[in-house]
Structure 1
Amino acid sequence: MATYKSFEDLEIWQLSRELCNDIYEIIENSDLKNNFRLANQIDGSSGSIMDNIAEGFERNGNREFIQFLYISKAFCGETRSQ
């Protein structure tokens, strides 16, 4: 099993960052930018995905990291729902 020194090395964090950047681009390049509440909700929930992965990793414990991965998964659902 690989040992990671930084959450930036995790593929799951890299993919969540891509998702967050893609959502930002969609918001900026569509009429969605005029729906401030929805755009803010989607932008916030997608950002929370990568933020929770990072926070869980920095806790330095597998149990806490797993818990934060579950929280990230919940934000994935929220993003999809929006």
Structure 2
Amino acid sequence: MDSKYILETEHVSKSFGSLEVLKDINLKVKKGEVICIIGPSGAGKSTYLRSLNQLEKITSGKIFIKGDLFLHRENDKTVERISK
């Protein structure tokens, strides 16, 4: 499937216990586009990037790579994931 987006996230959330670090994050990055993620210390920038490359497990949301579903999690459980 050819998608105009190289990376998409839909409703990505990440919690550490009762601390909600990422809440309903949506992002679309087009092929060739350069983006910056900025914010104050503790805003969740590194957690978001670590979640995209699977160093952290998201609590819920969807991650798409080149239009294909890479990961879908709900309520801290994997619903669907592509094989490595």
- Give TM class, smaller chain: under 0.3
The two structures have a TM-score, normalised by structure 2, of: 0.27
Tell me the TM-score normalised to structure 1 length: 0.28
Identify the structure with the greater strand proportion: 2
